[in-house]
Amino acid sequence: MKVKILLVCFFCFAITGCQKMNSVETYDYVLAMGVEDIGNNYLYHYSVADTSKITDNGGIKVPSKTVTIHAKDFQKGKKIWEQRTGRPLNFSQLKLIVLKPMDKKVVKALSHEREISKSVDMVTTKKEMKKLFGVEKKLPISFGEYMQQVLAR
């Protein structure tokens, strides 16, 4: 009888999927992303939620930081990030992709990424990405939300 109860408990645990649950801190959530063509490579500017600094502020601002990765393509950029931080990037909160300059190859590659929502805004800029993403520290809201508001005007 005890064996049957143990088997039922084990079976219930196995089908719930709880053994593979990840906490919020397991990932780095990308809020905005910039892609800058520098010849044969790209600079990927990731504005990521800084989960270590989240406080109860009523959801007004998600603390974020921008980190730049030099890589040959999107997939290699993600791998480099994970090697440096030990956490994978999560694009579920991505609101905006900024391109410099407009690059059809990059647009096509990013639009085929299953991790990136098809509703993400994609814009181009002539500004220096470092300056563009540099305003992030001074904003009362996340950089992605700020840029969406700018685009809506």
- Does a structural domain hold residue 71? yes
Give the integer Cα–Cα distance in Å for 9 and 13: 6
Checking if the pLDDT of 18 tops 60, the result is no
- Does a structural domain hold residue 8? no
Lowest model confidence (mean pLDDT) among 16-20, 24-28, 52-56, 115-119: 16-20
- Does a structural domain hold residue 11? no
Which pLDDT tens digit goes with each residue over 35-89?
Answer: 999 989 999 999 998 776 666 555 556 778 889 999 999 999 999 999 999 999 9
- Does a structural domain hold residue 1? no
The predicted model gives 86-104 an average pLDDT of 91
Lowest model confidence (mean pLDDT) among 5-14, 28-37, 116-125, 130-139: 5-14
Q: Which residues of 41-69 are buried (b: 16+ CB within 10 A; e: fewer)?
A: ebbbbbbbbebeeeeeeeeeebbbbbeeb
Number of domains the chain is built from: 1
Coil, strand or helix at 71: strand
pLDDT for the residue numbered 71 = 95
The predicted model gives 88-112 an average pLDDT of 90
Q: What share of the chain is helix, strand, coil (3-state, %, to 5)?
A: 40, 25, 35
- Does a structural domain hold residue 6? no
- Does a structural domain hold residue 10? no
Residue-averaged pLDDT of the chain: 82
- Does a structural domain hold residue 51? yes
- Does a structural domain hold residue 118? yes
Q: Which domain holds residue 81?
A: 24-152
- Give residue 52's Cα distance to chain centre: 16
